Amino acid sequence: RKEVEQDPGPFNVPEGATVAFNCTYSNSASQSFFWYRQDCRKEPKLLMSVYSSGNEDGRFTAQLNRASQYISLLIRDSKLSDSATYLCVVNNRTVGGGADGLTFGKGTHLIIQP
Amino acid sequence: DAGITQSPRHKVTETGTPVTLRCHQTENHRYMYWYRQDPGHGLRLIHYSYGVKDTDKGEVSDGYSVSRSKTEDFLLTLESATSSQTSVYFCAISQQGTETQYFGPGTRLLVL
């Protein structure tokens, strides 16, 4: 079974602080990686894709470490509105595999406190 | 936001009754998916479709069937609902050749 592991938290962080969390994956052949955000009782929404070279989108930075098989998400200058659950998603599609290759982590719960 | 709707948004039913959930998209995406989300579990794929009348099983397909007669609609049927199928069901879509999936608002199903 292809696993994606995340610390469930909750991470309680003061507003304005920097917070980082990691996700590990078990399949070394995984091809692509994503972070989704899910608010309480809402659907998951794509936050960002994760590229091998690392990528940044405003206050959010995602990193991929293939050798150690983990992905990280860094949030700088955290806002109250960043409070949510962050889902790590890994594409385990094999060569010639179908569309069912995405594996979702159980999520990390982040609470930004005023 | 991607044009994805799900109906009904909430449903309470009794064990043994059939239930059909509908996912409708206006994006003309080829791929459509049904997931369930339960406490302590990540999103788990039930079934997916890669075109009209083309479907395949996911990780937790037992007790579920699907149909896709039009590009825009993907139906999930619980033939005989059980209490273990109480869950939040999400539909998702993706374009051909890409992996980014966009999710509908979800359906909360309670089986008594």
- pLDDT (tens digit per residue) in B17-28: 999 999 999 999
Cβ distance A100 to B56 less than 8 Å, yes or no, reads yes
- pLDDT (tens digit per residue) in A8-61: 999 999 999 999 999 999 988 888 899 999 999 999 999 999 988 889 999 999
Two structure tokens written together for A9: 């938290």
Among B40, B99, B103, the residue with its CB nearest the CB of A91 is B99
Mutate to test the interface with B, among A102, A106, A108 (most CBs of B within 10 A): A102
Residue numbers in B near A93 (CB within 8 A): 99
Residue A97 CB burial class (10 angstroms; 0-12, 13-18, ≥19): exposed
**Rg of chain B on CA atoms, in Å:** 13
**pLDDT > 70: what percent of chain B?**
96
Among A43, A104, A105, the residue with its CB nearest the CB of B104 is A43
Three-state DSSP class for residue B95:
coil
Q: What is the mean pLDDT of residues A88-105?
A: 70
Mutate to test the interface with A, among B43, B47, B94 (most CBs of A within 10 A): B43
Amino acid A42: pLDDT: 95
Mean pLDDT, chain B, integer:
93
Mutate to test the interface with B, among A32, A42, A43, A46 (most CBs of B within 10 A): A43
Chain A contact present for B3, CB below 8 A: no
Amino acid B40: pLDDT: 84
Residue numbers in B near A34 (CB within 8 A): 99-100
Among residues B40, B15, B36, the alpha carbon closest in space to that of B87 is found at: B36
Q: What is the DSSP letter of B18?
A: -
Residue numbers in B near A49 (CB within 8 A): 100
Cβ distance B99 to A106 less than 8 Å, yes or no, reads no
Residue B108 CB burial class (10 angstroms; 0-12, 13-18, ≥19): middle
Start-to-end Cα distance in chain B: 33
Amino acid A110: pLDDT: 97
Q: What is the mean pLDDT of residues B1-8?
A: 89
How far apart are alpha carbons A54 and B47 in whole angstroms? 32
Q: How confident is the model at residue A96 (pLDDT cuts 50, 70, 90)?
A: very low
pLDDT higher than threshold 50 for residue A101: yes
Q: How far is B41 from chain A (nearest CA, A)?
A: 6
- pLDDT (tens digit per residue) in B54-95: 999 988 999 999 999 999 999 999 999 999 999 999 999 998
The residue behind tokens 């374009």 is: B95
